[in-house]
Chain A
Amino acid sequence: MRQKRGMAPDTPISDTLATEVRRIFAETLRLRIEDVSLDARLDQPHLGIDSLMLIKLNVALEEAFDIALPDFTTPEASTVRSVRDVVALVSEKVASGPNGGAR
């Protein structure tokens, strides 16, 4: 268990969850999982993420974890900049229960 800087200390993030998020990134973007580091930024050119890819990532993560996420492309989610931020957000939504965070 590791903790992400800036998150509430009682919200641990499992390696399993981080790996699963990276796997979904890799699958959606057609990359190898090794190419999706936690520090990779969503706007980093080598990831090749356009707005459709962001939406596909959103949906794939919601589907995999049974959660609702804010759109990564809207101001509501402006703090989501890196893969690590996505992991933190998913972890937070998963912690708030099944279909957690659904509006």
Chain B
Amino acid sequence: MSSSEARTRPEREAMERSPEEQREHERRMVAEHYQHDVDIFSMVLDSRLAYATGVFHRPDEDLETAQSRKFARIQAKLAIGPGERVLDVGCGWGSNLLYLAEHTGGHFHGITLSERQRDEALRRARAAGVLDRVHIEVRHVEDLALEPASYDVILFSGSIVHMHNREAVHQMVGRLLRAGGRLLISDCYYPAESRGDRESAATHYIFVEALGYCRLLHLGEELSLIERAGLDILHVEDLTSSYVLTLERWIDNVRKNRRRIEELSPGFSRVLQQYMTVAKLSFARRTALEYMILATKGRPAVDVAAFPILPPGYEEGSR
């Protein structure tokens, strides 16, 4: 594990801060992006406001289709039973949390660094009639003081990238999950070989100016931290090409709504289009990679061998 090796300037700066200072830094800098008017994100994202990659089967599909498929896939991977407790770290405007609340009988705890995200997620929970099973609050992940074995599922979708202190985060996940508990992460990673310019102005722009703080690990480093927290890796899938398409859809939505976005938040349409374009080019060139990871604490609740991965035209029983 080489978590002590910094790959970017923001990462080096973070390492010079104490854990407490870094926590405050994330609290302040990361929240900023997500504190923009939810109406802006409504013009750019899908109807549930998922701010992470969708799952595209074909390049001509629309964003709504790809995000619906992603929600359904996450539901299948997590197999949340009635009464099971779910923690969504970085729940945003509640996209995954509320989809899962509407489609399973679980109980949900969401945390975010943005008051506006919390307010919108709660408003949507009320509208969906699931507020009785949903608790959402503004809190940093490292400030969660909970009993061990408090959750059956812990979810990070497009959020763990903002967390510098990954070892502590994974140790906490290992502690908070019950036996049979599941961890799901959907986020971006660097390839292990040094590919692309990680010290470029473009990298700094996206990691700091646009998004406050980002730390991309190598996939192997994240998996190793998960394993060392006592979990077993069940399934990893590459969603890099889906993320390129997702970013293209978002960029086109920024273009279509540029004037209205500028009315709500002058200068923000540029920030969105610029950082999304940097990201799109990085994922298209595979200098950054997008993965969805599923891990289990103890015996798996879901049988990944039964996931339908089949060639076209395959029929069960044929040889």
Q: Which residues of A line the B interface, CB within 8 A?
A: 50-53, 55-56, 58-60, 62-63, 66, 68, 71, 73-74, 99, 102-103
Contact = CB atoms under 8 A, between A and B. Distances in A.
Nearest to B275: A55
B274 A59 contact: yes
Task: Summarize B's interface: helix, strand, loop or mixed.
Answer: helix
Nearest to B255: A68
A55 B281 CA distance: 10
Contact of A99 (B201, B255, B270): B255
Interface in B270-284: 270, 273-274, 277-278, 281, 284
Nearest to A68: B255
Contacts of A60: 270
B60 to A, nearest CB: 12
What's the interface size class on B, roughly?
A: 10 to 19
A71 B202 CA distance: 14
Interface string B82-124: 0000000000000000000000000000000000000000000
Interface of B: 200-202, 205, 252, 255-256, 258, 269-270, 273-274, 277-278, 281, 284
A56 B205 CA distance: 11
Contact of B269 (A53, A63, A74, A103): A63
Nearest to A62: B255
A53 B205 CA distance: 11
Contacts of A55: 202, 274, 277-278, 281
A68 B253 CA distance: 12
A52 B255 contact: no
B210 to A, nearest CB: 11
B252 A52 contact: no
29 contacts: A50-B200, A50-B201, A50-B202, A51-B200, A51-B202, A52-B200, A52-B201, A52-B205, A52-B274, A52-B278, A53-B201, A55-B278, A56-B274, A58-B277, A59-B273, A59-B274, A59-B277, A62-B255, A63-B270, A66-B258, A68-B255, A71-B277, A73-B281, A74-B281, A99-B255, A99-B256, A102-B252, A102-B256, A103-B252
